């Protein structure tokens, strides 16, 4: 069983990057829409990968495999300031 997690990282100009993290192997890889590697970090500790997932990926990305709900994200308020 792999500890690999795949994320969709939505960019401001409509592009979607694919982020693959694996704490067991100590790797994080960012791929563009064409599947080309933009960033590849290796030799990371399990703790480093988990910290990146918790503090960065879970706040700006959507998990593609497994449960989409993040235990670190607070429930969203339904308040919309643009609706009177």
Q: What residue numbers bound the domain in which 52 lies? A: 5-63
Angle at 54 between CA 23 and CA 51, to 5 degrees: 55
Residue 13 lies in a domain: yes
Number of domains in the chain: 1
In angstroms, how far is the first alpha carbon of the chain from the final one?
50
Residue 69 lies in a domain: no
* pLDDT (tens digit per residue) in 29-80: 999 999 999 999 999 999 999 998 888 777 787 776 665 544 334 444 555 5
Residue 12 lies in a domain: yes
Reported as a pLDDT band with limits 50, 70 and 90, residue 10 is confident
* Sequence-distant (≥ 6) Cβ neighbours of residue 74 within 8 angstroms: none
pTM above 0.75, yes or no: no
Residue 83 lies in a domain: no
CA atoms of 32 and 66, how far apart (whole Å)? 22
Residue 70 lies in a domain: no
Residue 41 lies in a domain: yes
């Amino acid at each position: 069983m792999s500890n690999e997690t795949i994320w969709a990282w939505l960019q401001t100009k409509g592009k979607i990057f694919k982020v693959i993290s694996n704490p067991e192997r100590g790797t994080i890889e960012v791929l563009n829409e064409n599947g080309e590697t933009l960033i590849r970090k290796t030799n990371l500790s399990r703790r480093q990968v988990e910290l990146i997932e918790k503090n960065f990926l879970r706040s700006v990305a959507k998990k593609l495999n497994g449960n989409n709900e993040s235990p670190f994200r607070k429930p969203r308020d339904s308040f919309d300031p643009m609706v009177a």
